[in-house]
Every structure is written in structure tokens, then in C-alpha cells.
């Protein structure tokens, strides 16, 4: 039976929630290293102050502010973080077409001291979606943890009707890149709307109401969701294409 | 440095959130036992279906539905759970004056297979508040986890202006019963309003804006919060005094 906690004496892990967009932000740090280097996954602009205050309290050194994809429902906190801490590196996938300090590709590793995340391409919600998976190895967290963005949600998945979304691609991504992880792997999504905080590969393989179906049925489900146009889309997407930096004065004028 | 994950191969742990009242419900199970016995701490009536569905998916056997105190902001899910699963035992403190199948007192232990919780009296928010702490011992989760109800919140604490609340009593409870736990102990509150999910004893000893103050200052802070009367109080408190069972048909008539 899978447990739902990770055993790693060096990992400090915090899940953080932004209520308006029901977004989860994740903080990971290697507290076995004297610098306690840290990274944030999917920070939200509204909660940057909270996140940085927690990072200060915990004595961590923020190194990376990462996004799983170009969000349509909230503005990433990445840009705001960089205005306050220019040394922090923004990270997003090359496939997203967005700007960032570091453009990652499938197979890349992002390290904080002795901990690392692996990049897996999981397009379908957007064409640039990635899943970050904690490292494979005895010195890495066990069970592994995967940050799935909007590719896989708890008993759900991200919509596929805009931002170059594709149900076929999403189906393939989840089945080939996420469901192939060991069953106890902890899955942490970018959103939850029902108050769940975590799931596992084993649970979603068995109970995901969409992704347990065959590909044709999945496609049919996704094409008939009749979702409304996201409120924040016209603000959030352009902002997130430049990691939330669009409103900042240019270097020349500042 | 404290990590914020617990290492226990037998503990299955889930944190669940109810948005309207910003309440956390906790699910714990011993998955090393064939029955996978489980308990819920502070279930909410609105999210009982979600919680029981998760318990079914995970193949757990719910044994206890427990409350940390008589809540004023939501109706406990305990009563509703018992109507669906009469074999589940409701648990609340004797000091609360509420009705339940099991009335616990400080020092009592609640066991699910080889895991157990210890009861600590932490009055002050209400006179019957308790904190449930995972067992002390090598076979129990490390670091320990404490479910503090409204006694201690993340960077905050419960109000003390009704339900026999007392700032002096709350100050003493937190300092003698919670801050005396090992610093890496993970603290899980009944509520959070800012999107935090967990803290540690070490963090709150250092950064709690109220409880790091001396007792007189704490009392002054608590007596000047100017909080409004809780919306749900007149519905929730009577309901919770009978563990959410007040609207059920009596045994004679059903
Ligand atoms: Fe998205
Ligand atoms: Fe309360």
C-alpha cells in the first residue's frame, strides 16, 4: 500500500494555496546544505509576499522560480520575485515559447544542492506543459514526487480547448510520462477545486474519471466540457509569456 | 534543520480543505495492517461525501471521526458520517461537554492498529479544546505530528472571546502543551486563511506574532481583535455539541 508522505531527511517541502485561482505553489529546499537552496514551483503574483516571508523565516536561499506552463488563470509570481530578488532564475520550458532565464527541455535536471528535479514533457493542456519529478536514486525523496501542473489534476485534468491544447496529446502525455512512474509516486497538481492536496500514480490509474477511459472516450469527454472562457486569460497569458515581467520598466528606462 | 515531511512507512496521511470555512480535515490510516484502519480529524458536513469517497478509493476502514473542539464556524461531519456508517465512533473531549461515543481526557490514547494519537488538553479558544499528537516512540511517525485545532494556527491562534475562551488559558496551553514538543514536530491546524498547510514547533516558537509575546501583551492583543460575531455560531455550536446529530430522527421514530 502506498503511503502519502515522503521520507527524505534533507528535503524541506511546503505546499501553499492561493484561494482565488485555487492554485498550489510548492516550495522545496535542500536543508542538508549550509545555504539551504530552495525553489518555488508555480508561484502566484498575489501570494509572493507570503511565499518570500516564509522563505526568510525558514532561512532558505531561493534559487529558482519555476513554472509548469504558461498559466491562463493567474499571473505567475516569477516576475515579481525577480524584481525583489534579481539573483533568482526564472525557469520555464523551451516548448512554451515563453521568455525566462532558463529554458528547460525534457530530460533536463534542475538541482538545489543534492536534490534534483527531472523535466518530463507533458503537453496537451498547453503545448509547453512539463511535469517536474524529484530525482531517481537512493539519496532522493522516496516515494518520488511529481509536480504535474495542469496535465494531471486529482481525479481530473486540465482543459484542452485553448493554448494549443490537444486531448490526444494530453492522453499520451499522462499515460507515457506520469502513469509510468512507480505507483506510490506522490502527484502534486497546480490546482485543486475540491480541497484535495495530493494523490498518487496508483490512485489516478485506478480512479481518474477521465484518464482511465480509452483515448476515444477521453477525447469525447474533453470536447464536450462546455467550459466558459477563463476570466483571467487575456491578462494572464501575455503576462506569463514573459514570466510576469510585462509591466516592469525596461532596463533602458529604469 | 527541520524538514516538513514525516517518515513512516505505515502512515497514510491526507490533508483536506473546506473552502467556505477554510477548515482542514485530516485523514490518517495505518496501511501496514490488513484492515487499514483510519480516522478523520475535524470532518466538515459539506465535504463528508468527498472524504468518504476518498476513504473508499484508498480501501480504508474508517474507525473514528474525531473533533478537536466544538466548532463555531462549521458543522462537524461526524454526525453525517455516523448516519452513513453507524459503526464509526465519534470522539470529542469530555471537557467540551459535548456528546459523542467516546469522551477523551488528557493522556488518553486513540489507536488505529499500531499507530496512535495522544490527547493533550489545550483549552483557551474553548474550554474543551484538545490537541492530538502522534505517538511518542520509534515505531511512530518521525517527526511527530500535532493536530492543534484552533489552539495554535500557523502564525496565529484561535480567538478567545466566546465559548468560555480565555487568553491566559490559551497562552498557558500553547506554551506548556505544544511548544514543549520537539522543534521539528509538524503542526497541523484546524484552519488556515492564507494558504499555508503546515508549520513546525520551531517555527511558531520563533515567528508566531502573538504567542512569542509575553502573557500580558498576548492578553492585550487577544482582547483588542474586534472580531465580528461568527456567521455560523448559532447553528454550528448547538449542532456540534451533539456531534452534528441534532437534526437526525430519534431512534424511536426512525
Ligand atoms: Fe493552466
Ligand atoms: Fe473553533
Tally the residues of chain A.
254
**pLDDT value of residue A216:** 98
Partners of A115 in the β-ladder = A112
Cβ-Cβ contacts under 8 Å, B59 against chain A:
1
Query: What whole-number distance in Å separates Cα of residue A97 and Cα of residue A70?
Result: 9
Rg value, chain A, Cα:
17
Residue of A nearest to B7 (CA): A7
Taking the CB of residue A45, how many other CB atoms lie within 10 A of it?
19
Predicted-complex ipTM score: 0.94
Cβ–Cβ gap B197/A197 under 8 Å:
yes
Model confidence at B209: pLDDT above 90: yes
List helix spans (H) across A104-214.
Answer: 167-173, 201-207
3 state SS of A22: coil
Cβ-Cβ contacts under 8 Å, A196 against chain B:
14, 16-17, 50, 54
Query: In the structure grid, which three cell numbers stand for residue A19, read together?
Result: 484561494
Of the candidate ranges A77-81, A241-245, B68-72, the one whose mean pLDDT is the lowest: A241-245
Q: Write the pLDDT tens digit of every residue in A62-100.
A: 999 999 999 999 999 999 999 999 999 999 999 999 999
**pLDDT value of residue A185:** 97
Q: What is the mean pLDDT of chain B?
A: 94
**pLDDT value of residue B247:** 56
**Residue B108 main-chain phi, psi, to 5 deg:** -65, 155
Q: Please, which residues have CB within 8 angstroms of residue A168's CB and are 6 or more apart in sequence?
A: A124, A215, A219
Establish whether the linkage from the previous residue to A90 is cis, with ω within 30° of 0: no
Residue of B nearest to A35 (CA): B1
B191-196 average pLDDT score: 98
CB pairs < 8 Å spanning A and B:
100
**pLDDT value of residue B246:** 65
Tally the residues of chain B.
254
How close does chain A come to B227, measured CA to CA in Å?
A: 22
Model confidence at A147: pLDDT above 70: yes
Q: Write the pLDDT tens digit of every residue in A161-219.
A: 988 999 999 999 999 999 999 999 999 999 999 999 999 999 999 999 999 999 999 99
- Binned at pLDDT 50, 70 and 90, residue A244 comes out as confident
Largest CA distance in chain A: 58
Model confidence at B58: pLDDT above 70: yes
Residue B87 near residue B135, CB atoms below 8 Å: no
How close does chain B come to A97, measured CA to CA in Å?
A: 30
Of B3, B5, B36, the CB nearest to A1: B36
Domains of chain A: 11-228 (3.60.15.10)
**pLDDT value of residue B249:** 47
Q: Distance, CA B23 to ligand 1 centroid (Å)? A: 26
Cβ-Cβ contacts under 8 Å, A2 against chain B:
12, 31
Model confidence at B250: pLDDT above 80: no
**pLDDT value of residue B244:** 81
Cβ-Cβ contacts under 8 Å, B1 against chain A:
12, 31-32, 36, 59
Residue B119 near residue B129, CB atoms below 8 Å: no
**Residue A191 main-chain phi, psi, to 5 deg:** -145, 155
Specify the pairing of strand A102-104 against strand A89-93: parallel
Of A16, A32, A207, the CB nearest to B195: A16
Query: In the structure grid, which three cell numbers stand for residue A82, read together?
Result: 525577480
Question: For residue A193, what are the CA distances in angstroms to A155, A211, A239, B137?
Answer: 11, 18, 24, 37
Of the candidate ranges A229-238, B62-71, B91-100, the one whose mean pLDDT is the lowest: A229-238
Query: What whole-number distance in Å separates Cα of residue A41 and Cα of residue A67?
Result: 6
B37: left (phi over 0), alpha (psi -120 to 50) or beta: beta
Query: What whole-number distance in Å separates Cα of residue A19 and Cα of residue B124?
Result: 29
Cβ-Cβ contacts under 8 Å, A145 against chain B:
none
How close does chain A come to B250, measured CA to CA in Å?
A: 32
Q: What is the mean pLDDT of chain A?
A: 94
Cβ–Cβ gap A12/B3 under 8 Å:
yes
**pLDDT value of residue B230:** 86
Q: Write the pLDDT tens digit of every residue in B112-147.
A: 999 999 999 999 999 999 999 999 999 999 999 999
**pLDDT value of residue A9:** 85
Query: What whole-number distance in Å separates Cα of residue B147 and Cα of residue A80?
Result: 34
Residue of B nearest to A207 (CA): B57
How close does chain A come to B252, measured CA to CA in Å?
A: 37
Greater confidence (A250 vs B152) lies with: B152
Cβ–Cβ gap A4/B14 under 8 Å:
yes
Q: Distance, CA A159 to ligand 1 centroid (Å)? A: 8
What percent of chain B clears pLDDT 70, i.e. is strictly above it?
Answer: 94
Q: Distance, CA A20 to ligand 1 centroid (Å)? A: 14
Cβ-Cβ contacts under 8 Å, B56 against chain A:
none
**Environment of ion ligand 2 (residues, CB < 5 A):** B 71, 150
**pLDDT value of residue B118:** 98
Amino acid at each position: 500500500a502506498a503511503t502519502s508522505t515522503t521520507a527524505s531527511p534533507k528535503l524541506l517541502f511546503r505546499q501553499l494555496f492561493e484561494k482565488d485561482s485555487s492554485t498550489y505553489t510548492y516550495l522545496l529546499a535542500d536543508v542538508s546544505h549550509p545555504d539551504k537552496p530552495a525553489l518555488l514551483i508555480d508561484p502566484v503574483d498575489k501570494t509572493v509576499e507570503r511565499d518570500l516571508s516564509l522563505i526568510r523565516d525558514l532561512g532558505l536561499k531561493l534559487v529558482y522560480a519555476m513554472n509548469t506552463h504558461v498559466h491562463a488563470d493567474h499571473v505567475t509570481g516569477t516576475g515579481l520575485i525577480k524584481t525583489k530578488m534579481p539573483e533568482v532564475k526564472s525557469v520555464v520550458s523551451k516548448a512554451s515559447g515563453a521568455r525566462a532565464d532558463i529554458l528547460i527541455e525534457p530530460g533536463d535536471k534542475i538541482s538545489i544542492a543534492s536534490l534534483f528535479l527531472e523535466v518530463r514533457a507533458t503537453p496537451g493542456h498547453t503545448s509547453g506543459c512539463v511535469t517536474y519529478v524529484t530525482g531517481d536514486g537512493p539519496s532522493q525523496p522516496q516515494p518520488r514526487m511529481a509536480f504535474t501542473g495542469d496535465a494531471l489534476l486529482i481525479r481530473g485534468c486540465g482543459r484542452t480547448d485553448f493554448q494549443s491544447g490537444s486531448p490526444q496529446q494530453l492522453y499520451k502525455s499522462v499515460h507515457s510520462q506520469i502513469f509510468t512512474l512507480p505507483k506510490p509516486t506522490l502527484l502534486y497538481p497546480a490546482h485543486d477545486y475540491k480541497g484535495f492536496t495530493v494523490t498518487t500514480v496508483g490512485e489516478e490509474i485506478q480512479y481518474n474519471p477521465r484518464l482511465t477511459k480509452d483515448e476515444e472516450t477521453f477525447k469525447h469527454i474533453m470536447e464536450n466540457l462546455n467550459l466558459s472562457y477563463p476570466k483571467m486569460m487575456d491578462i494572464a497569458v501575455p503576462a506569463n509569456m514573459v514570466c510576469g515581467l510585462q509591466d516592469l520598466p525596461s532596463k533602458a528606462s529604469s
